[in-house]
Each structure stands twice: as structure tokens, then as C-alpha cells.
């Protein structure tokens, strides 16, 4: 079983980059893997991503979710990969509508949506009825501290849980995550960040701590402590 319990009304988490930071796609995949297990797939949606290809190894849960999504959204590219079901759509109005519909079809499973920064405001619009529970930001604090603080403050004002990943994941972790085979215990994302975003505040395991916009924009200490340091 996954270390992070998913409630029937499972969270939907948006993942994007701040400024020129790299690695948001891998972080989104790792987050989806953390919310999946052998009996329950997670959904990874990529707005603007390449068409996903099925892998030789995929869990029964991921294949079941793939079939369900394909039947409801026949025009959307979807594939089971490991313990995660990947879906790709264009970063436009049609893509936002497809993402919202897919998250509804996958209700009960964690939905993680990786999107370009320019699409964030559109997807947060009430027009789509997506109702995201949180946002994971991949940010290089040393170069984008003021922008990061502004983004975090805006998201918190919307009532969203916010996590900040200050370092890109390793190449190996990113590749494993994108194949849907990165275990929840891999340690590439901190337990505190996962508890906030995957379990969410109303699901067991969260410490209930809120991100401080100014603290989130501070450089990491040597022990890598602090919000979303991993």
C-alpha cells in the first residue's frame, strides 16, 4: 500500500515551474507515483506534453483506469505506465476541459496535472470546475525569490495547499517516475511535502502546516530543512 492514504474525494494537484526552473515534469510524475499503489492507480495529466506510450509493465489498476478514460474521452491520448495512468492534452481551452473531465472520471484516485506556467490562471478558473486542492512549484530560489513569493502568496489566497521543490530530482528518479515505477518510499520528495499535497490537510498524515511565502522563497539551509526542500 502507499504511505499516503487517498480519500474517496481524492486531491487534484497542479505542478508547474516558477521562472526558468527545470524538472517540474519529473516532479509531477514522482508525486503521482507517491499516490499510487498496486491496487489504486494515480492519474498524471500533461498539458502540452508529448503523447504517452504504454509500457510493457503496468498494474491492473492503471490499465483499468486507462480503459475507463479511453471510453469517456476517446479523443484524448492516454496510456497505462507502471502504477500510473498518463494522459496528454494541448495547453489550451480544449486541453483544460479534457483535464477537468479526466480528473472527474478518475475520482477516487490522485490526479496530478503538469502544466506550463502560462496555463495556470486558466486552469484555476472556476469555469472548468476542477477544484484543485494544491499546487507544487518547482523553483530555483536563488534566481526567482521575489517571483516565487508572489506566486505562493497568490495561491495561498485562493485557499490552496502549496509545496515548493527547491531542487530538481535526479535523472534516475525522474526516469523511474515517468515510467510509473518510483515507489512512495523512494525519498526523492520529502514526507512533509507529500503529506501536505497527496494526503492533503483533511486526510490523515498532514501536519497542518501552511507555507510561509517569505520562508518558501528563502535559500535552503545546509541540512535541507524547510518547506519542500527535497
pLDDT of residue 223: 37
Q: Are 30 and 163 in contact (CB under 8 A)?
A: no
**144-195, pLDDT tens digit by residue?**
999 999 999 999 999 999 999 999 999 999 999 999 999 766 678 998 999 8
Return the domain boundaries, the chain: 12-216
pLDDT in the model for residue 208 = 38
pLDDT (0 to 100) of residue 177: 96
Q: Is 109 in contact with 86 (CB distance < 8 Å)?
A: no
194-221 confidence digits (pLDDT tens): 988 987 433 333 333 456 666 666 665 4
Question: For 8-55, what is each residue's pLDDT tens digit?
Answer: 568 999 999 999 999 999 999 999 999 998 889 999 999 987 888 888
Contact between 96 and 47 (Cβ < 8 Å): yes
Could you tell me which CATH number the domain at 12-216 has?
A: 3.40.50
Question: What is the secondary structure of 178-203 as a DSSP string?
Answer: HTT---GGG-SS-HHHHIIIII-TTS
Q: Are 37 and 17 in contact (CB under 8 A)?
A: no
- Between 85 and 211, name the one with better pLDDT: 85
Amino acid at each position: 500500500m502507499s504511505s499516503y492514504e487517498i480519500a474517496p474525494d481524492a486531491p487534484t494537484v497542479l505542478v508547474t515551474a516558477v521562472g526558468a526552473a527545470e524538472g517540474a515534469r519529473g516532479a509531477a510524475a514522482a508525486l503521482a507515483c507517491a499516490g499510487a499503489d498496486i491496487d489504486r492507480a494515480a492519474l498524471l495529466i500533461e498539458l502540452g506534453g508529448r503523447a504517452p506510450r504504454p509500457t510493457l509493465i503496468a498494474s491492473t489498476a492503471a490499465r483499468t483506469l486507462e480503459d475507463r478514460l479511453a471510453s469517456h474521452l476517446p479523443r484524448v491520448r492516454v496510456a497505462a505506465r507502471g502504477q500510473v495512468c498518463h494522459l496528454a492534452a494541448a495547453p489550451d481551452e480544449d486541453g483544460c476541459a479534457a483535464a477537468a473531465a479526466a480528473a472527474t472520471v478518475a475520482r477516487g484516485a490522485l490526479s496530478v496535472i503538469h502544466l506550463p506556467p502560462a496555463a495556470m490562471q486558466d486552469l484555476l478558473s472556476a469555469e472548468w470546475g476542477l477544484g484543485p486542492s494544491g499546487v507544487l512549484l518547482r523553483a530555483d530560489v536563488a534566481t526567482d525569490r521575489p517571483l516565487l513569493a508572489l506566486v505562493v502568496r497568490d495561491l495561498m489566497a485562493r485557499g490552496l495547499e502549496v509545496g515548493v521543490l527547491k531542487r530538481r530530482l535526479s535523472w534516475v528518479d525522474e526516469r523511474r517516475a515517468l515510467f510509473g515505477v518510483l515507489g512512495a518510499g523512494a525519498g526523492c520528495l520529502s514526507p512533509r511535502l507529500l503529506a501536505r499535497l497527496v494526503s492533503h490537510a483533511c486526510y490523515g498524515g498532514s501536519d497542518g502546516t501552511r507555507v510561509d511565502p517569505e520562508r518558501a522563497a528563502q535559500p535552503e539551509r545546509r541540512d535541507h530543512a524547510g518547506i519542500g526542500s527535497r
